[in-house]
């Protein structure tokens, strides 16, 4: 939540808040005989989307280890992502056409004023 506060103080405006949920089995192979080990996990988080392409999220994950023997691997993560590079958007062809039509209209208006007595 500190990141959310810092971004809001830094002039970024919050655009969207999203919920992030993941759950299910996670399979691992370990040992020389490649025995399967299954860990069940549930992951819940909140993602904040800011203007300027910056995203922050806070996620809590709980994983049960050893097929439900009672051992758990819990964690809390804070994530921050920001754009490193963005492609330049090509100019809108419709905006160019509107500009050309406005110039043509201004030219026609000027010609009609010049020709009027």
Phi, psi of 100 (to 5 degrees): -65, -40
Sign of CA dihedral 28, 31, 36, 39: negative
Per-residue pLDDT of 104-114, as tens digits, reads 999 999 988 87
Per-residue pLDDT of 77-113, as tens digits, reads 899 998 898 888 888 889 989 999 999 999 999 988 8
- CATH architecture of the domain 2-88 equals Single Sheet (2.20)
Q: Which residues pair with 42 in a beta bridge?
A: 23, 62
Q: What is the pTM of this model?
A: 0.55
Per-residue pLDDT of 26-77, as tens digits, reads 776 666 665 666 777 888 999 999 888 889 999 998 877 665 566 677 889 8
3 state DSSP class of 51: helix
CB 48 within 8 A of CB 4: yes
Q: What angle (nearest 5°) sits at the alpha carbon of residue 35, between those of residues 68 and 24?
A: 45
């Amino acid at each position: 939540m500190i990141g959310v506060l810092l971004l809001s103080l830094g002039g970024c405006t919050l655009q969207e808040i999203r919920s992030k949920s993941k759950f299910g089995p996670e399979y691992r192979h370990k040992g020389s005989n490649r025995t399967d080990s299954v860990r069940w996990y549930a992951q819940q988080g909140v993602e904040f989307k800011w203007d300027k392409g910056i995203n922050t999220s806070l996620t809590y994950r709980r994983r049960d280890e050893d097929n439900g023997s009672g051992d758990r691997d819990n964690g809390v993560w804070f994530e921050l992502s920001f754009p490193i590079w963005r492609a330049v958007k090509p100019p809108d062809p419709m905006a160019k056409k509107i500009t050309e039509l406005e110039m043509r209209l201004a030219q026609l208006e000027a010609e009609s004023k010049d020709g009027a007595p």
